[in-house]
Structures are given as C-alpha cells and as structure tokens.
Chain A
Amino acid sequence: MPGKGSRALRFWQLGLFAAVLLAWYVLTSPTLLPPLYFDDPHKAAFFFGEPLKVAARIGDWFSSGSIYPHLWVTLVETALAFGIGTILGLVMGLWLARSPTASTLLDPYLKALNSMPRVILAPIFGMWFGLDMGSKVALGVTLVFFIVFFNVYQGVREVSHTVLANARMLGANERQLLRHVYVPSAMSWVFASLHNSVGLAFVGAVVGEYLGSSRGVGYLILQAEGTFDFNAVVAGIVVLTVFALLLDWLVTIAERRLLVWQPRGGETEKI
C-alpha cells in the first residue's frame, strides 16, 4: 500500500519533526547562539527546556525503571475508567432508549449533567474516594459514561425498523431482540466512539492525578512543575502523548477486529 506519494509524505513529516526539534535545540541552548530575547543565556533553557535533556530524562526514567509504577497507575486508572464508564453507559443507554417514560423523565437531568464541566468534580471525588486511584477512576467514568451513553441511546433508537420487524417475524422474543438486534446495533455506535472515550478516560486519569495524588504520570508532571524543572515537565508530556497514541492504535486494531461486518470506505469487494 505505501506508494511513492506516501513515502514522500512520510519523509516530509519526519523532516518537519526534525526541523522543530532542531529549532528548539538551537534557540534554547545556552552556548550556541547569543541570547535573542532574554538577558541571560540560561533563561531560554529555563523557560522552554532543552530537547537533549528532555530525551536524557525520558531515557533515565525508563532505564532506571522509576517511571513504571507511575505509568502503571495511570494506565490502570484509564482502563478502569474506560471499562466501568462503557458498561454503565451501555446499560443506561439500552434501558433509556427502550423505556420512553424513563427517558423523558430523566432527559433534562442528563442534559444538565452532560453540559456541566465535569472536570470540576475532581476535588469532590478526591474527598469522597481519597487521593488514591478511586477518585481518578471516578472522574474518568463521568467523562466516558456520557459519550458511550449518548451513542448507545442514539444507536438503539436508530435500529432499522425493517431489521427489527424481520427479527420479529423470524420468531425473536423481546430478550432475543435485545441480544441479537439492539445490542449489536448499539455496539457499532460504541465502537465508533471508542477513540473518544479511551482518550477521555486517559484525560480523566491524568487530570485527576494532576489535581491531587501521590502516584501517576500526572503527579510526576505536577512535581516537576513544583521545582520549576521544565525538562521533566516536557518529558512527562512526551511520555503521555506517546501512550495516548499507543492506546489509540490499540483501539484501531480492536475496531478492525470487532467491526468486520461494517463496510469500510473505499472497499469495493462486491460480487
């Protein structure tokens, strides 16, 4: 698949990355250039960090293994928030979509909860669940839940009437309709929102850690900020970004596996 065009594109992408790194290095190095803006040659490095030191810090974290406990905590929080939020969203979505009374009753409250900036709940969760993982998972769950919930709700309501009527004619009872029609149809919507919900679970974990914790990558960044160690802050951000990309990639693989039945764009395999 990678043709000439995509190879050239890859080259330019890497080139752009290298150029940015080089500019960062040249502009922040205390010895390379005379200071352009700051009166002290070390000030640029203080405010913007230095790429080589950031790389060294990341290397140090991984070679000494000191980052693993933090990374582990953040990833477990993400996984738990994602799992719990998805299950809750799925159950509530299925229930409300099939029960018009409950959905009209709860509609304004759900809208209110959804439009509320829920990150603000982090301190409250800190009080309720302590500064350990619990409060971070809770924050992530509130973020993930609404995405999954609204998608499932939409998915169930948009189940094709014909498919539903057909399943009924084939003899499906209510329970079988739920299992063989509503849930698979809703799942495709859940997967469509998977990138979003995994991303937000991660955001919930990191923001929760940042606002108060004793472990996790968010905590690491907070500590570094406390000592004005800009290199460590950037190193933490780089690690977070890489793992966010990794999670996103895993989601893409899961999606491909689980949604084989959906046509993909440009696919022309018809006979």
Chain B
Amino acid sequence: MPALALEDIRVTFVSPDGGRYTAIRDTTLRVAPGEFVSVVGPTGCGKSTLLNVAAGLLQPSAGATRVFGEALSGVNRKAGYLFQSEALMPWRTALQNVTAGLEFRGSDGADAVARAEEWLRRVGLGGFGGRYPHQLSGGMRKRVALAQALILDPEIILMDEPFAALDIQTRHLMENELLELWSTNRKSVVFITHDLEEAISLSDRVVVMSAGPESHPLGEFAIDLPRPRDVAEIRLTPRFIELHGLIWSAMKEEVLKSYARQRQ
C-alpha cells in the first residue's frame, strides 16, 4: 500500500471575476513507504499546488488523496512540510520553533525541550536555540525548519524547493544532510524542485510534469544510482549524466513552452 496516493487530481482555481485556471489535471502520483520521489517541471507548472493537495492545505477540484489507504480530509497529520519561503514563527526562538509542533500536540515541558535540543544538535545548530530567526542565516533557518518538521517524526515529508534560496555550497551541504537524516530513518519524501540535477542526485524516482496550465505528469524515471550518495560527487558519474540526458530530453520541450508562454 502506498504511503501517499494522489489519484486523478485536478485543481481548478476560480477567481472572483469568474475566470478559471486549471493548474493541474489527470495527475496520479503514488509514493511507497520509504521512497524518495522528486517532482520536476518548468516554473509555474503547478508543482507546489500538487504538494499542497498532498498536505491537505488545498482541496482538489476532482480526485482523491489517500494516506496509507485512508481518504484524506483536512490537514494531512501524517505529513511534515518544508516550505519554499520563510515559515518559521519570527517571534519564537529557534528552540521554541522546534518545540512548536510538540506543543500544539499537547506534549509540553522539559521533555519537549530536551528533544528539540537534540534535534537542533542533529541539524548542526546546537547552542543556537536561543536565537530568533532573524538572527540566523538563510541556511540555518532552513535547518531549524527541518528540525521543526522532523521532530514530529512524520511518515511523509513534503518538500517544496526547500533549498532554492540557498547558495550552491550551502545547498549541497543541506542536501547531503537531508540524505543522511533520511537514510537513518527512511520516510516517504515528495521533493519538489525545478532543478533536475538536485532531483536526480537525491531521489529514487523522478516525475516530470508538463508546462502549465493544465499541467500533468509526462513520464517518470527510476534513478538506479547507488546509495549512500554524495550529491556533489555523484553528478560526475557516467550513469548520472546518462540519466540527466534522458530526463532532460523529456523536459526540454516543456521548459521551452513555459518560457515562450512567459515571454508573451
């Protein structure tokens, strides 16, 4: 049974003046327990929309979401979400941000603080618990967000271009850390990105979406690169380059389409 199953999803937005915009259609995505799946596609292809449906933050116009076989209603409680933009509560310190989820779920106090400190250490931020988000760099904030989501031990991790705003070195560092965290305790991951190299180096499977509107999956590719991987080094292996060529040839046309549409 898949951990997460999106079946024939269609999302149509209706604007107040009656305009309709179909972001995605006929999209089916199944993610097995412990599987790392990346969804790639040109900008504006509705990748984030798809993720919001999986998170239960957005109701699809048609189709069903199942989490471990159960139909999803409301927010997906089995999922942790890493957002693209700043999602930490700026009025809470790093530590208080990490304990937030435990607090919301009713487990307060010393135990929560101890666990949060442990998680901060695990993401390399031991000793930074007392800092407010604005006192941390972009990369550190992403680590806090990671600890904040993972402390709840979610079965499914949804990531929306979480490292897009980081510089390339920090990004590789974070990607390696993510892989390490993931490999010690394998959860299902849906990773959204427009960066094909990032997708290949991290995933077990890459799904390519078409250009929006009415975006839909064009194809999917199993990534048979050996683990453990180093995201910077694996890019130089022949198999990586081969896979990259294969997937890029499927993506290229869509990227050009999306580009042409934006230039109009």
Contact = CB atoms under 8 A, between A and B. Distances in A.
A261 B104 contact: no
A180 B100 contact: yes
A165 B148 contact: no
A263 B101 contact: no
Interface in A149-170: 160, 162-163, 165-170
A261 B101 contact: no
B257 interface: no
B137 interface: yes
A87 B76 CA distance: 36
A263 B132 CA distance: 9
Contact of A260 (B79, B132, B140, B152): B132
A169 B91 contact: no
A184 B89 contact: yes
A262 B89 CA distance: 11
A185 B92 CA distance: 11
Contacts of B57: 165, 168-169
A188 to B, nearest CB: 7
Interface stretch (A38-46, A90-98, A114-122, A171-179): A171-179
A16 to B, nearest CB: 38
A94 to B, nearest CB: 16
Given A180-B89, A188-B91, A261-B92, A166 B134 contact: no
A188 B89 CA distance: 13
Nearest to A173: B104
Contacts of A270: 135-137
Contacts of A244: none
Interface residues of A, number: 26
B127 to A, nearest CB: 11
B83 interface: yes
Contact of A168 (B75, B80, B91, B133): B75
B77 interface: yes
Contacts of B88: 163, 166
A172 B75 CA distance: 10
B135 A170 contact: no
Nearest to B101: A170
B178 interface: no
B105 A165 contact: no
Interface residues on B, range: 20 to 34
Contacts of A261: 90-93, 132-134
Contacts of A172: 100, 104
Nearest to B133: A261
Nearest to A263: B134
A158 to B, nearest CB: 13
Contact of B152 (A162, A165, A171, A176): A171
A171 B77 contact: yes
Contacts of B152: 170-171
Interface string B142-154: 0001001100100
B73 interface: no
Interface in A176-197: 176, 180-181, 184-185, 187-188
A25 B89 CA distance: 57
A56 B105 CA distance: 65
A166 B136 contact: no
- Find the residue from B76, B87, B93, B133 having the highest chain A CB count within 10 A: B87
**Residue with the greatest number of chain B CB neighbours at <10 A, chosen from A165, A167, A176:** A165
Contacts of A162: 83, 85-87
Contacts of B93: 261
A205 to B, nearest CB: 32
A165 B81 contact: yes
Interface in B145-193: 145, 148-149, 152
A171 B87 contact: no
Given A171-B75, A171-B101, A184-B89, 19 more contacts: A160-B85, A163-B88, A163-B90, A165-B87, A168-B75, A169-B76, A169-B81, A170-B104, A171-B152, A172-B100, A180-B89, A180-B100, A188-B91, A261-B90, A261-B92, A261-B132, A262-B90, A270-B135, A271-B135
Interface of A: 160, 162-163, 165-173, 176, 180-181, 184-185, 187-188, 260-263, 269-271
* Nearest 9 interchain pairs by C-beta: A166-B87, A170-B101, A263-B134, A171-B104, A184-B91, A169-B81, A261-B132, A172-B104, A162-B87
Interface of B: 55, 57, 75-77, 79-81, 83, 85-93, 100-101, 103-105, 132-137, 140, 145, 148-149, 152
